[in-house]
Structure 1
Amino acid sequence: MTETSPSARLRWWVVLTLLGVGLVLGLAGSYAWWRVWRKPNVVASPLGPAYLYIRTGSSFATVLDTLRRQELLHEPATFAWLARRRGYPAQIRPGRYRLDFGLGNDALLDKLLRGEQDTVDFQLNAFKYKPQLVRQIARQLEADSTTLRQLLQDNKWLQRQYQLDTTTVLTLFLPGPYRLVWNTSAQQFMDSAAATHRQFWTAQRRQQADSLGLSPTQVHVLASIVQRETAMPQDKPIIAGVYLNRLRRHMRLQADPTLLWAIGNFGVKRVLNKDKLVDSPYNTYKHAGLPPGPITSTNRQSLDAVLRPAAHQYLFFCARPDRSGYSDFAETFAEHKKNARRYQHTLDSLKIMR
């Protein structure tokens, strides 16, 4: 049996050593690649997915600072290294990005580079004044509040863009659900509201407005009064019918909610005679016809109540004394006075003076 020579044994030792070193280096390299490219790097949150907000004009340093400050990544350094390698600093796209737990750097960069941001679903609530609209939008979107305020006050621009003015611009906004990307600008938000407005005003609804002798803007104005008068769906078409009957007979609307708009206090529970003397085009006790603009943003239910009013001969209505939210209706002023006295007695018994 031939014995292995010392030189052969050395050669085998060298080969095995090199193979071992290569294997170790290969495993180390594979781990390093996996750690940078594929290892889950997004931090788990007990509240669900986290969100990265990148404002318009943000630098790469700002993005990294946000990731570090909000502790969204386990290893921000590996993300930064790969981001530079993939050219992300020159391709930053603003938006609201959902960071699901388990996402690795490569997959996260794919999302950021493609601009795959999540949309923002929010409910636009009814509002009475423009600052209330601006605050709602500023809480939901990146849209600059100063720019939005300026657009809402720019008569020439509003006329050119939407055929509205600073008084009627509230008719553009329909309360309800909206879905927009977070980095929507002020003008883009208004354009989106205008598109929703156009979708609502179908050919059928325009025909209904025409049959009443009203423009869509006038329907919004009247619907805003109906909306402030009652929250009861059953009463809305009846109240709309009352006001339309008064308009046809050239009677003043004498709508209390327009007085509250004029005096700037919607918290008043009891309208006084002195309120009816306020000098304002919104004082429908003094001025005939519709006020110049809406007194609140109007929802679809109120608009459709005006477009499909109840047919009747009522000219008056008053809140019921049981404070149920419903109204008592009357064809004559004498009947109305009786209803009004019952309601006033209820306010007196509750010591509601204002």
Structure 2
Amino acid sequence: MKIRGIALWRAILLTVLVAAIAAGTWLWFDWARFAGTPLAIPAAGQSIDVARGASFKDIVHDLRARKVTHASPLYWRVLAMEMRASGRLHAGEYALRPGMTPRNLIADMAAGKVMQRHFTIVDGWTVADLRKALAAVDTLTHDTAGEDDAELMKSLGAEGDHPEGRFLPETYAYVKGDKDSSILKRAYAAMKKTLDAAWNSRAPDLPLATPYEALILASIVEKETGRADERPRIAGVFVRRLRLRMLLQTDPTVIYGMGATYAGNIRRSDLTADNPYNTYTRVGLPPTPIALPGRAAIEAALHPADGKELYFVARGDGSHVFSSTLEEHNRAVACYQLKRCQ
């Protein structure tokens, strides 16, 4: 009887051991499946915020609440330990990409690979457009919200400078929570660097005394056309007019000078109402840029096309007709503006 009892206990222990090994094996394979299986992320553009001081439990709770994962917090804890990431996850916003696995996500958090967002300054925007667009970005900290333009320029180390034209249109990367002033500082520095480089390689004998005058001309070119092939030709027209001390007679400067009173139309009275930006009444460049010119407009202003053209008129399709004489120009105006083609 004693031998049978021992045999029975051995059988029970063996069964328990086999069951434990089987359960352990199943758990290991289930954990490995979890670590390498994509999370439930249906589309791009989602993210998770890891607050400063958040615990690993908080992070997993957030993921489970959003139904990104249904796995046990223990699985996540073991994975973090296996990756030696426990206790060194960085705060910040992390992208949740379709196809991303738990292992990928923990690796990003351990490396501090926070999500990069982007803000684009559009060629031809005014400073007012730029500041309005920045104010609408809810992922930025708006530390310039209470500053007027003069205070903004002072904070950039350019006290007394007019802000128009001073920020380079480009796409700037940032992370959630960055200050909007950081984007403005980078755009300001980028414009200064771009303008200085372009000025140093400018064409000879331009009727421009300073880089700032080049910036003013570039802003006019920017507002006159969006066509790459026309920018140097339009710049050439204005450069020749400056040399001859002809009125520039460019509508975008008039519109800028009208400010909030501009309602979509320029009347004859607007063209005769004198102000510093009315290039129909004043010879030379306006006192400041009228917009934020892009790199191409700056290059065009400093490398204008050669020729004899002194006039251009819009066709109505985004392109222009260029003329060398007033007679040719008047015919073009009659045809394309008054619809009296001969």
TM-score for the superposition, normalised by structure 2:
0.76
- Checking the alignment, whether the CA contact within 8 Å between 2:94 and 2:109 is kept in structure 1 is no
Post-superposition shift, 1:345? 1.7
Post-superposition shift, 1:219? 2.4
Match of 1:207 among 188, 198, 201: 201
| 1:46-100 Cα deviation digits (max 9, x unpaired) | 53x5632427758458756753454322337457766998896885411232445
Q: Which secondary structure state, in structure 2, belongs to the residue aligned with residue 43 of structure 1?
A: coil
- Checking the alignment, whether the CA contact within 8 Å between 2:149 and 2:163 is kept in structure 1 is no
Match of 1:345 among 308, 318, 338: 338
Is there any run of 5+ residues in structure 2 with no aligned partner, and where? none
Post-superposition shift, 1:224? 2.0
The equivalent residue for 2:130 is 133
The equivalent residue for 1:305 is 300
Residues 111/342 of structure 1: CA separation in 2 closer, same or farther (3 Å cut): closer
- Checking the alignment, whether the CA contact within 8 Å between 2:310 and 2:324 is kept in structure 1 is yes
Identity of aligned residues (%): 23
Structure 1 range deviating more: 246-255 or 64-73 = 64-73
Q: What amino acid is the match of 1:253?
A: L
- Checking the alignment, whether the CA contact within 8 Å between 1:154 and 1:166 is kept in structure 2 is no
- Checking the alignment, whether the CA contact within 8 Å between 2:198 and 2:298 is kept in structure 1 is no
The equivalent residue for 1:220 is 215
Q: Kindly report the root-mean-square deviation, in angstroms, between the aligned alpha carbons of the 2 structures.
A: 4.1
The equivalent residue for 1:147 is 143
Q: What amino acid is the match of 1:262?
A: G
Q: What amino acid is the match of 2:180?
A: A
Structure 1 range deviating more: 155-164 or 78-87 = 78-87
The equivalent residue for 1:72 is 68
State the distance in 2 between where 1:142 and 1:76 align.
Answer: 31
- Checking the alignment, whether the CA contact within 8 Å between 2:41 and 2:98 is kept in structure 1 is no
Post-superposition shift, 1:308? 0.9
Residues 122/135 of structure 1: CA separation in 2 closer, same or farther (3 Å cut): same
Match of 2:235 among 222, 232, 240: 240
State the distance in 1 between where 2:267 and 2:246 align.
Answer: 21
Q: Which secondary structure state, in structure 2, belongs to the residue aligned with residue 291 of structure 1?
A: coil
Is there any run of 5+ residues in structure 1 with no aligned partner, and where? 1-5, 350-354
Post-superposition shift, 1:27? 4.3
Aligned residues: 335
Residues 178/50 of structure 1: CA separation in 2 closer, same or farther (3 Å cut): closer
The equivalent residue for 2:270 is 275
Q: Which secondary structure state, in structure 2, belongs to the residue aligned with residue 219 of structure 1?
A: helix
Q: How does 1:98-137 map to 2 (within 5 A)?
A: 98-101=96-99, 103-104=101-102, 107-120=104-117, 123-130=120-127, 132-134=129-131, 136-137=133-134
Structure number with the higher helix fraction is 1
Residues 328/39 of structure 1: CA separation in 2 closer, same or farther (3 Å cut): closer
State the distance in 2 between where 1:130 and 1:68 align.
Answer: 44
State the distance in 2 between where 1:56 and 1:222 align.
Answer: 47
- Checking the alignment, whether the CA contact within 8 Å between 1:96 and 1:181 is kept in structure 2 is no
Post-superposition shift, 1:220? 2.8
- Please tell me whether residue 93 in structure 1 is matched to residue 87 in structure 2: no
Post-superposition shift, 1:332? 4.5
Q: Which secondary structure state, in structure 1, belongs to the residue aligned with residue 321 of structure 2?
A: strand
Q: Which secondary structure state, in structure 2, belongs to the residue aligned with residue 172 of structure 1?
A: coil
TM-score for the superposition, normalised by structure 1:
0.73
- Checking the alignment, whether the CA contact within 8 Å between 1:252 and 1:284 is kept in structure 2 is yes
